[in-house]
Amino acid sequence: MLTKNRLAILAGLCVATLSANAGTLKKDGWTTGSCGDKPETPDLNFDSIAEFNDSIAAFNAWQREEAATYFECLTKDANADMKKITDSVNAQKKEHDDMVEYLNGQAAEFKKQAEDKKTPPDQ
């Protein structure tokens, strides 16, 4: 059986695990903890066809490299945070279930001892 002290330690470990390297959740959304700032979108240059073509090439390279890398990191961080949250909730639920099982066992044992001590009325 798990004691209250062991359950408290388990809960503390769950909270510590959840807070390590996590992103930040606020009212207005979630931000990554490790991907840095979103890469700035390059401007398109409409001064000439050559400059436009060059700016399109730069934009395409930015999409392939910087933006793709950033959003891959963002997705990886978000999935890791969701897993941490799910694992934490599951651990807390297990902690609760273990405590309920422990207390129900204690109550059943007490009830049995109380019933064993009863003597039948004289007839």
pLDDT tens for the chain, 123 residues long, are 445 555 455 555 544 444 555 688 888 888 888 999 999 999 999 999 999 999 999 999 999 999 999 999 999 999 999 999 999 999 999 999 999 999 999 999 999 998 888 766 665
72, amino acid identity: E
User: Would you say 46 and 59 are in contact if contact means Cβ atoms under 8 Å apart?
Assistant: no
pTM: 0.60
Nearest-Å Rg of the Cα atoms of the chain is 29
